[in-house]
Structure 1
Amino acid sequence: MNILMALSQLEVTGAEVYATQVGDRLTQRGHQVFYVSDTLNCPHKGQHFSLRFNKRSLPRRVWHVLYLIYLILRYKIQLVHAHSRASGWSSYIACKLTNTPMVTSVHGRQPVHRSRKKFHALGYHAVAVCENIAQQIIRDLGVPSEQVSVVRNGVDSQQFSPLPAANNDKPIIQIIGRLTGPKGELVYQLLKQCIDLDANQVQVISGSKVEPRFAEFENKVEFCGYSDNIRSTISQADLVIGAGRVAMEALLCQKPVFAVGEAKSVGLINLDNLPTALESNFGDIALEGKTELDIDYESVANQLKRAIVSASVSDELVTNIKAEYDLDEVCKKLLNVYQSAYVYTKKREIPIIMYHRVINDDSQHGVYGTYVTEERLEEHFQTIKAMGLTPITFKELAKIGLEHRFDHGKRYIILTFDDGYQDNYDLLLPLLKKYQFKAVIYAVSGTDHNQWDASHPTKPDQRFELMSPETMRDIDRSGFVEIGGHTLNHPKLAELSEPEQQHQIEQNKKDLESLLGRELTTFAYPYGNHSQQTKQLAKQAGYAYTVATDSGPIGLHQDLQQIRRIVMFPSTTKFGLWRKIRGNYTYRKAINKNN
C-alpha cells in the first residue's frame, strides 16, 4: 500500500520516533511510505514533505487540506496515518474529500470541548498507545468503542538488547525527555525537589533548547543535548528517569527505570507495577486527566533514594516488555487496522466467486442448478479480462501477502469451483489456458460422483462424474489450478460429531496431499455449513484459507477460517457478473442484510 504518515511537531517527539520506525518496518515489508510534517529529524526511508501544521489560522488550514489532497492524488496514497491533532484535523478533511482511508494514532489525552466531541477527526479508527487514552477517547469524546483499540508504541527490540550494569563510583541518573511544556516543568521539579545533586551525577538528555530557568543547575547537572543512539547513551546510567518510549527502550536494555511522566509517578518499574505503567504509558497519561500538580514530589524524592540503591531489571520484566512493544507485532496489528480501514472506507474487497459444474449440453442441467454453461463462463472470463482483474489462487495470495492485495495498480479476483467435477477438466481447463487465468478447485476425495445429491432421499439429482485421481493430478500439474480440500463425501459438517468432522477434514487432506505430492493451502465447507468447532478443526488441520459461502466478515483478513464467496448462477449475465465483482458487492449485501 501507499501510506502517508502525517505528523506535526517542532522537535523530536515520541510520535516521530514511532512513526518513522513503523514506517521503515512497513517499507521493509514492501509498502511505500511517505511523510508530511513540520519537521522530521529521525532517520527514515520514505520521502518527506514539509508542511507547517502548527500554523493553525483558517487560511493555513485551508492550505494544509489542499496540499494533502495534492499529495494523496499525486502519490496515489491509499491510506493516511495521522499522529497528532493538528495533522489529523487537516488529514480528516482531505481524506473525506478524496474518499481515502484514515487512521489516527493517539499519543496523548485529547482536549474535551463541544466541537471536539462533534468533530473528533480521528478517521476510520483511533489507535491509542495505552489503555488510559483509549478509555478517555471513548468516555469523553463519545467515540464508539469498536472504533478504538490499543496498539502500543513499537520498539525494535533488536536495537535495545540488555546492557551490563553500570559500575560508577558515583551513581549516574539520566533524565530523558523534552524540556518544553509539562515535561519541561517535570524535569525542573525533579532537579529542584527530588534528586540529591551532590550525591548523584545527573545528566539531562534532550533535544530541546535549555530554558533560562535551568541555569541554576548548570554547575551540578550536565545538559547533554539530543542523542540519536539511546542505547549507547544509557550504557553508563545507573538509573533512567522518563516515561513513554524512554522507559520501554531503557528497560529493554535492562536499565532500571523510574517512571514519572506528565500525569503521574509510577515509580521504579517492576513486575508488580508493570500493568499500571502500561495503562498510563509509564506515567504520561492519567485516566482522569490529572496534571503534574498531583505529583507528590516529596514522595518521589524518597522513592528515588531507595531506587538508586535497589534498582534492578529482571529477565522476566524484559521479556514482558518485548511482548508488549515488539515492533513486528505492532506493525501486524496496524496492518490489520489498515486493511479494515481500506475495506470499509472504499467498500471494496477482493471478489471470490463460486462455481460448480461447467456444461455444454442442456441434459446436464440437473436438479439444483449448480452449473454454468461453457458459453456463459467464457462470457464471464471476457468480462473479468475487460475489467482488468487478475485471477489468482490462494497459494499465490499467500505469496503476494494478504496485506498487499490492495497495492496500487493491482486488482485481483479468485475463481473457485466446488466438488471437483470431470467437466472442470474437460471444459474449464481449456478456458483457463485460453485466457491465462488461474482457479481453485475444491475436491471431494471419498466418492467418484455427486453421491450427496444423487442419493438425496426426497430430491435426488442425476449422477455427475468427479475427476479421477489421475485426472486431478493432471489438472493440478497444469499450472492453472490449485486443488483445495472439500471433505470425503460432502456432508454438512456442523451436523456431525467432532471426531466425524475431524475425520472428514483431515482424511480428505491426507488423500489429496498424497495424490498431489504437496501441501494443501485452502479448504471449502460443503454447503458453506460450519460451526466454530468446524472452523477450529480446519485451522488445526493446517488450512491457511477456509472459504464459506454467504457468511463471514466483509474483510478477507478478518477471519481466514470463514471467507465470504459470491455465488454464480446459470442466469448470471455479463452485467450481473460486473455488478458482483466490481468490488463493493459483498459490502453492500452484508450491510443490507444487517439492516
Structure 2
Amino acid sequence: MNILMALSQLEVTGAEVYATTVGNALTERGHQIFYVSDTLTKPTLGPVFTLKFNKRSLLRRFWHVFYLIYLIKRHHIQLVHAHSRASGWSSYIACKLTGTPMITTVHGRQPVHASRKAFHALGARAVAVCEDIAKQIVDNLGVAPSIVQVLRNGVETDKFQPMPAPANPKPVIAIIGRLSGPKGELCYRLLDEVLDLDTYQVKVVSGSPLLARFLRFQDQVEFVGYVDDIPALMSQCDLVIGAGRVAVESLLCGRPVFAVGEAKAIGLVTEQNLAEALASNFGDIGPSDLVIDFAALQGQLVSALASKRVPETIRQRIQDEYGLPRIISGLESIYQDAVVETLRREMPIIMYHRFIEQDNEKGVHGTWLPIKMFEWHLRLMKWLGYETLTFGDLADKGFIHRLQYGKKYLMITADDGYQDNLTRMLPLLEKYGYKAVVYVVTGEQYNRWDVEHPSNPDAPVALMNGAQIKALAATGHVEIGGHTLTHSRLSKLSPEQQAYEIRENKRQLEALVGYPLLSFAYPYGDMNDSAREQAIQAGYRFAVATNSGPKAIHQDPYQIRRIAIFPRTDAFGLWRKIRGNYVFRK
C-alpha cells in the first residue's frame, strides 16, 4: 500500500519515533511509506515532506489541506495515518475531499472541548497506544467504541537486550524526555522537589533545547542532549525515570524503571503494578484531575534504587505486548479495516461448481454454468484488468497484498471437484493465464448429496478420481483445497464426525497433491463454532463460507465470504458481482 504518515512537531517526540519505526518496518514489508511533518529527526526509508502544521491560522490550515491533497494525488496515497491533532485535523479534511481512508494513532490524552467532541477528525479508526487513552476518548470525547482499538507502541525489541547492573560508586539516575510542555514541567519538578542532586548522579536526556529555567541545575545535573544509542546510555544507569517508550526500552534492557508521566506516578514498575503501568502508558495517561504527590516520590525513589534488575517475567510481557512484528501486523489489519469500510470495496471471491457444454447436462440445483459463458467471464475479467490470487498468494504475502496499488485482484473458486474442472475449466484458465482454487470431495465418486436430495433429486455427475486431482494440481493453475469426505452439512454432525470428515479429506488430498492444503470450504456454506474449530485444528489457515462472515475478508480467515455464480450470471451479471461493492449492496 501507499501510506502517508502525518505528524506535527517541532522536536523529537514519541510520536515521531513510533511513526518512523513502524513506517520503516512497513517499508521492509513492501509498502510505500511517505512522511509529512514540521520536522523529522529519525531516519526514514521513505521520502519526507515538510509542512508547518504548527502554524494554525485559518489561511495556513487551508494551505495544509491543499498540500495534503496534492501529496495524496501525486503519490497515489491509499491511506493517511495521522499522529497528532494538528496534522489529523488537516488530514481529515483532505481525506474527506479526496475519498481517501484515514486512521489516527492517539499518543496522549486529548483536550476536551465542544469543537473536539463535535469534530473528532480521527478517521475510520482511532488507535490508542494504551487502555487509558482508549477510555478517555470514548468517555470524554464521545468517540464510538467500535472505531477505537488499543495497539501499543511498536518497539524493535531485539535491539534492547538485558544488561548487568552497573557498579557505580554513586547511583546514576537518568530522566529521559522533552524539556518543553508538560513533560518539561515534570522534569523540572523532579529535579527541584524529588531528587537529591548531591546524593545521585543525574543525567537528563532530551532533544529539547535547554530552557532558561533549567540553567540553575547545570552544576549538579548532566544535560546529555539527544542520544542515538539509548541501550548504551541505559547500561550506565541504576534507575531510569520516564514514561511511554522510554519505560518500555529500559525494561527490555533489564534496567529498573521509575514510571512517572504527565498524569500519573506509577513508581517502580513491578509485577504487581505492571498491568496498571501498561494501561496508562507508564504514567502518561490518567484522570484529568489526578495530582502527582511529588513529596511522596522521594521515599519511593530510595527503595526503587535497591532494585538491581528487572524480573524476566516483566521483560517477556513487554516483548509480547510491544514486539514490532506483532504491532505491524496489527496495523496492517487496521489499515485494511479502514480501506475496505471507507471505500466499501472488497476483493471478490467468486464461486463456481461445474461447467456444461450441452443443455441435457443442466441440473436442478443451479450449480452449473455453460462453459461458453465461463469463457465470456474470463474475457471480461481480462478486459477489466483483473489478476487472480489464490490462498497460497495470501499466505505468502498477507491479506493486505490484495490492496496493492494499481492492481485489481479477484479469486476464482470451484466447489466439489467435478471432472469438468479438469477437462473444461482448466484449458480456459491456461488460455487466459488465470489461477483458481478447487475444493474437492474425496469420499464420493459422484454428487450423491444432490442425487439423493429428498425433494429435488438431481442426475449424477462424475467427480475427479485421484489421478485426475493430481493432474489438475500439477498444472500450476489450480490450488487444491479441502471440502470434506462426503459433502455433509457440518452443523448436523458431532464434533468427532466433523473432525473425521475434515481431517481425513485433508489427509487424502495432501497425499495426492504433495503439499499442505491451506484452505477449506464448508459444504453448503454450512458451519458452526465446532466446525470452525475443527478446520483450525486440522491445520487449515483459511476457510471459506458463502453468505456468512464479515464483509472484509481479513477480519475472519475462517469464515470468508464468497459470491455465488449461477446459471443466469451473464457477463453483465458478473461485472456487477466483481466490481468490489457487491457484498455491501446485497
Q: 2:265–2:292: 8 Å Cα contact kept in structure 1?
A: yes
Partners of 2:454 and 2:108 lie apart in 1 by: 65
- Structure 2 letter corresponding to 1:510: R
What is the 5 A alignment of 1:577-592?
577-589=574-586
Partners of 2:3 and 2:544 lie apart in 1 by: 30
Q: Does 1:557 align with 2:554?
A: yes
Q: 1:268–1:311: 8 Å Cα contact kept in structure 2?
A: no
Partners of 1:478 and 1:89 lie apart in 2 by: 53
What is the 5 A alignment of 1:179-578?
179-286=179-286, 288-290=287-289, 294-578=291-575
Shift of the alpha carbon at 1:280? 1.0
For the residue of structure 2 that corresponds to 1:309, the secondary structure is coil
Partners of 1:263 and 1:290 lie apart in 2 by: 9
Partners of 2:225 and 2:261 lie apart in 1 by: 19
What is the 5 A alignment of 1:74-89?
74-89=74-89
Q: 2:165–2:308: 8 Å Cα contact kept in structure 1?
A: no
Shift of the alpha carbon at 1:416? 0.8
For the residue of structure 2 that corresponds to 1:241, the secondary structure is strand
Shift of the alpha carbon at 1:284? 1.0
Q: TM-score, with normalisation over the residues of structure 1?
A: 0.97
Partners of 1:465 and 1:6 lie apart in 2 by: 58
Shift of the alpha carbon at 1:432? 1.1
Aligned to 1:37: 37
Partners of 2:90 and 2:430 lie apart in 1 by: 50
Structure 1: 5+ residue stretches without partners:
590-595
For the residue of structure 2 that corresponds to 1:141, the secondary structure is coil
Q: 2:129–2:151: 8 Å Cα contact kept in structure 1?
A: yes
Aligned to 2:70: 70
Shift of the alpha carbon at 1:317? 1.2
Shift of the alpha carbon at 1:234? 1.6
Partners of 1:366 and 1:265 lie apart in 2 by: 72
Aligned to 1:166: 166
For the residue of structure 2 that corresponds to 1:405, the secondary structure is helix
Shift of the alpha carbon at 1:588? 2.1
Partners of 1:574 and 1:229 lie apart in 2 by: 61
Q: 2:2–2:78: 8 Å Cα contact kept in structure 1?
A: yes
Partners of 2:401 and 2:429 lie apart in 1 by: 24
Shift of the alpha carbon at 1:459? 2.1
- Which whole-Å deviations, capped at 9, do the CAs of 1:153-181 have from their partners, x for residues lacking one? 11111111111111100111111111111
Aligned to 2:55: 55
- Structure 2 letter corresponding to 1:278: L
Aligned to 1:593: none
Shift of the alpha carbon at 1:208? 0.9
Aligned to 2:93: 93
Partners of 1:564 and 1:551 lie apart in 2 by: 6
Q: 1:485–1:520: 8 Å Cα contact kept in structure 2?
A: yes
Aligned to 2:141: 141
Shift of the alpha carbon at 1:311? 4.6
Q: 1:108–1:285: 8 Å Cα contact kept in structure 2?
A: yes
- Structure 2 letter corresponding to 1:176: I
Partners of 1:245 and 1:423 lie apart in 2 by: 59
- Structure 1 letter corresponding to 2:264: K
RMSD: 1.0
Partners of 1:391 and 1:188 lie apart in 2 by: 60
- Structure 1 letter corresponding to 2:386: L
Q: 1:244–1:282: 8 Å Cα contact kept in structure 2?
A: yes
Percent identity (aligned):
57
Q: 1:264–1:290: 8 Å Cα contact kept in structure 2?
A: no
Shift of the alpha carbon at 1:492? 0.3
Partners of 1:398 and 1:315 lie apart in 2 by: 33
Q: 2:6–2:91: 8 Å Cα contact kept in structure 1?
A: yes
Shift of the alpha carbon at 1:400? 3.3
- The count of residues paired between Structure 1 and Structure 2 equals 586
For the residue of structure 1 that corresponds to 2:415, the secondary structure is strand
- Structure 1 letter corresponding to 2:243: A
For the residue of structure 1 that corresponds to 2:485, the secondary structure is coil
Partners of 1:67 and 1:233 lie apart in 2 by: 40
- Structure 2 letter corresponding to 1:289: S
Partners of 2:337 and 2:156 lie apart in 1 by: 25
Partners of 1:285 and 1:448 lie apart in 2 by: 64
For the residue of structure 1 that corresponds to 2:543, the secondary structure is strand
- Which whole-Å deviations, capped at 9, do the CAs of 1:410-463 have from their partners, x for residues lacking one? 211111111111111221111111111111111100011001111223321111
Structure 2: 5+ residue stretches without partners:
none
Shift of the alpha carbon at 1:357? 0.9
Partners of 2:390 and 2:322 lie apart in 1 by: 34
Q: 1:239–1:257: 8 Å Cα contact kept in structure 2?
A: yes
- Which whole-Å deviations, capped at 9, do the CAs of 1:470-516 have from their partners, x for residues lacking one? 11211111121111111111110110011111110001011111112
Partners of 2:134 and 2:323 lie apart in 1 by: 20
Partners of 2:234 and 2:391 lie apart in 1 by: 48
Shift of the alpha carbon at 1:236? 0.7
For the residue of structure 1 that corresponds to 2:575, the secondary structure is helix
Partners of 2:397 and 2:293 lie apart in 1 by: 55
Partners of 1:386 and 1:546 lie apart in 2 by: 30
Shift of the alpha carbon at 1:373? 0.2
- Structure 2 letter corresponding to 1:568: I
580-589 vs 353-362, which moves further: 580-589
Q: 2:256–2:307: 8 Å Cα contact kept in structure 1?
A: no
Q: 1:207–1:225: 8 Å Cα contact kept in structure 2?
A: yes
For the residue of structure 2 that corresponds to 1:10, the secondary structure is coil
Q: TM-score, with normalisation over the residues of structure 2?
A: 0.99
- Structure 2 letter corresponding to 1:209: P
- Which whole-Å deviations, capped at 9, do the CAs of 1:181-225 have from their partners, x for residues lacking one? 111111111111111111111111111111111122111111111
